[in-house]
Amino acid sequence: MTSDKNTKKSAGGKREYKRHPKRFRTRYREAEGGWHTAFTKDVSVSGLFIISTRLPQTRQVEIEIEVSKQRTVTLSGVPRHGSRVPPRMARLIKGGFGVKIVQAPPDWYEYCLELDR
């Protein structure tokens, strides 16, 4: 498998789509809990990484991504991995969690595939 600067291999080398570094304002919540504000670090057709000091404790999260001032996309995903960073290191290392997307509107997939071109 060839790779370029936008392609990252997961530990098992199973990632199918390129990750694109994109910083979007994001909100997420667990089950019917309250919303937490965060930002994305990177996005792809199948997943994304959310920069946050809080890590989800449930098996599924609802995510709202503000892709433009006029457009918000709502996704459902499964948290796959997370990392906490000590407060004094937060400027150097970004903590957060990876999410595998399990449900998204068609325009999310179209948007991400357009980034590949």
Q: Residue ranges per domain, the chain?
A: 20-115
* Total count of residues recorded for the chain: 117
The tokens describing 13, both together, are: 């080398």
pTM of the model: 0.80
Q: How many angstroms separate the Cα of 21 from the Cα of each of 36, 57, 92?
A: 21, 25, 17
Question: pLDDT digits over 29-73, tens only?
Answer: 998 789 999 999 999 999 999 999 888 988 899 999 998 888 899
Q: Work out the pLDDT band at 80, boundaries 50, 70, 90.
A: very high
pLDDT reading at 98 higher than 50: yes
Between CA 99 and CA 76 the distance in angstroms is 9
Asked whether 60 and 77 are in contact (CB, 8 A), the reply is yes
CATH code for the domain defined by 20-115: 2.40.10.220
Quote the pLDDT of residue 84.
Answer: 81
Q: Which of 12, 24, 3 shows the shortest CA–CA distance to 80?
A: 12
pLDDT reading at 11 higher than 80: no
